[in-house]
Amino acid sequence: MNTNPTAVTLIGVPLEEGSGRRGAAMGPTALRIAGIDRMLTDLGHSVVDSGDLHPAPAADLPDHPKAHHLKIVGAFTRDLEARVHDVAAAGGFPLILGGDHALSMGSVSGMARHAAAVGRPLFVLWLDAHADFNSPETSPSGNIHGMPVAFFCGEAEFADILPANRPFVDPRNVYQVGIRSVDPHERDEIHEHGVNVFDMRAIDEQGVAAIISNILATVANANGLLHVSFDVDFLDPDVAPGVGTTVPGGATYREAHLVMEMLSDSGLVSSLDLVELNPFLDDRGKSARVLVELTASLFGRRIFDRPTRAA
């Protein structure tokens, strides 16, 4: 990506049923009001807003006692998987405006299908307070927004949402940064499957720059595609209060910008989720504006150009 012009397609996903509370469905509208399309255009990128997905509930999916609202979450997953795949296959950059984190079941699966088609591994950078590696059997709540990582890694096959032979993401290619809330069974699953977890203590001890630098080097050495999934609760609640799953002790404003700036410098990012924004819980649009500012850093906004070191 870097500062080169990118063909960005905005995909609104007004999904809130995965979270167990109302409000996240307003996230795509809030991000548009905060000017995400105008910001990208001002940075020189071409932008197509494809509007919001509005699928009917998937009648062929069963009700599930431990996976709430499966029919509507499954319908969004199918539609988003197809939309993201088609945008990426056409050379575009899918930018998904959420919506709760269950939407990543569709976005990451779509990118996994594209990556398999072009013969490159898919890596996922999961910026979140939560690991989201539950399955219906391990989830204490039954809310599907706590299950997407297990789903796209092939470890939460709780219904025929997508084809059984679809490409999965290797759990060892998932890098979770900012984690500070993990369920007991989830912790065991993460260790068993080799997910790479950098909790807030790791950030405190190592620094976010070293962690992200090592992740990017791994992706580059593998010639991989990189999907970034950014949950509002990655940030400390003082920075972004507009989320239904606040966990104290999150990333600072500058740490988050540094992550995005390093991602931009790398040129490796091929798709992005912005999830769990709940405008009903926000403070006069503060969190939406922060997300737009962070996205600007990912797409090349700089205060000063960094000087080139002489050879």
Beta strand pairing call for 46-52 and 93-98:
unpaired
Q: What is the pLDDT of residue 32?
A: 98
274 and 233 in contact (C-beta within 8 Å)? Answer: no
Residues 196 and 4: their CA atoms lie apart, in Å, by: 30
Q: Is there a catalytic annotation at residue 69?
A: no
Q: Is there a catalytic annotation at residue 191?
A: no
Q: Which domain holds residue 134?
A: 7-298
Q: What is the pLDDT of residue 171?
A: 98
Annotated catalytic residue, options 100, 189, 276, 282: 276
Block residue for tokens 């976005």: 107
Residues 274 and 232: their CA atoms lie apart, in Å, by: 8
Residues 4 and 268: their CA atoms lie apart, in Å, by: 12
Beginning with the edge strand found earlier in the chain, give each strand of the sheet holding 269-275 in spatial order: 46-52, 7-13, 93-98, 269-275, 225-231, 122-127, 174-179, 196-199
Q: Is residue 174 part of a domain?
A: yes
Annotated catalytic residue, options 114, 130, 227, 257: 130
Q: Is there a catalytic annotation at residue 16?
A: no
Q: Is residue 1 part of a domain?
A: no
CATH of the domain at 210: 3.40.800.10
Q: Is there a catalytic annotation at residue 236?
A: no
- Calculate helix-pair angle for 253-266, 286-298, nearest 10 degrees: 30
Nearest alpha carbon to residue 180 among 195, 194, 197, 193: 197
Residues 285 and 237: their CA atoms lie apart, in Å, by: 14
Q: Is residue 28 part of a domain?
A: yes
Query: Which distant-in-sequence residues (6+ apart) come within 8 Å of 303 by Cβ?
Result: none
Q: Is residue 307 part of a domain?
A: no
Residues 23 and 264: their CA atoms lie apart, in Å, by: 30
Annotated catalytic residue, options 85, 101, 227, 257: 101
Residue 180 DSSP symbol: -
Intervals of the chain under pLDDT 50: 2-3, 309-311
Q: What is the pLDDT of residue 2?
A: 45
Q: Is residue 88 part of a domain?
A: yes
Domains: count for the chain: 1
Q: Is residue 308 part of a domain?
A: no
Annotated catalytic residue, options 17, 189, 231, 282: 231
Annotated catalytic residue, options 68, 85, 114, 145: 145
User: How many Cα atoms within 13 Å fall on the side-chain side of residue 56?
Assistant: 2
pLDDT digits (tens, 9 = 90+) for 24-76: 999 999 999 999 999 999 999 999 999 999 999 999 999 998 999 999 999 99
By percentage, how much of the chain surpasses pLDDT 70? 96
Q: Is there a catalytic annotation at residue 193?
A: no
Annotated catalytic residue, options 16, 128, 199, 236: 128
98 and 25 in contact (C-beta within 8 Å)? Answer: no
Q: Is residue 42 part of a domain?
A: yes
Length of the chain: 311
Q: Is there a catalytic annotation at residue 100?
A: no
Annotated catalytic residue, options 17, 81, 100, 132: 132
Query: Which distant-in-sequence residues (6+ apart) come within 8 Å of 269 by Cβ?
Result: 1, 226, 227, 228, 263, 298
Annotated catalytic residue, options 233, 255, 261, 273: 233
Q: Is residue 187 part of a domain?
A: yes
Q: Is there a catalytic annotation at residue 233?
A: yes
Nearest alpha carbon to residue 27 among 297, 284, 278: 278
Q: Is there a catalytic annotation at residue 101?
A: yes
